[in-house]
Amino acid sequence: MENIVVNKTTLCPSARPEWKESVVFGLISGTVTEPRVAYLKQPLPVTDELMAKASPVTPTEIFRTAAPCATKGCHHFDGKDCRLAQRIVEQLPTVVEELPPCSIRRDCRWWQQEGKAACMRCPQAITDNYNPSELMRNVATPSAS
């Protein structure tokens, strides 16, 4: 029997668009005080052309991107888990009643680690939120471990 190698990548759903191998998986919608992610049916590779479509604002004001998890290179990673995903599940309220139709779920670090609880809160997680509540600011701030 032939050995088949599967190259599995765990994605960070809160990645920056400039990270290597980034994809757009959602568009920012909602309001300034209650932004929400509208999920794309298929992720789109981040390209200069796609990022230029955000002009005159920054890409993170329009797009939600994912990229391979940086693990030890990320200040939210504790060596085993994403502490941001933990804080989101522990502190933020759910904002949807059923799982959003997310195209990166099977590879998502938050899903793999926290399951449905993370997905029920994910639509309110905005990479660059210029008007965060105090709660959102506290959740996004890496804790000293």
The whole-number pLDDT of residue 134 equals: 93
Mean of the pLDDT values across residues 72-80? 93
Calculate the CA 22 to chain-centre distance.
11
pLDDT the model gives residue 8: 67
Count Cβ atoms below 10 Å from residue 136 Cβ, excluding itself.
18
Distance CA 145, CA 137 (A): 18
Q: What pTM, to 2 d.p., does this model score?
A: 0.89
The residue to which tokens 């992720």 are assigned: 43
Q: What is the pLDDT of residues 37-69, one digit of tens each?
A: 999 999 999 999 999 999 999 999 999 999 999
Reported as a pLDDT band with limits 50, 70 and 90, residue 26 is: very high
Instruction: Provide the strand spans (E) within the chain.
Output: 11-15, 23-30, 35-45, 63-68
User: pLDDT digit string (tens) for 77-134?
Assistant: 999 999 999 999 999 999 999 999 999 999 999 999 999 999 999 999 998 888 888 9
Beta partners for residue 125, in sequence order: none
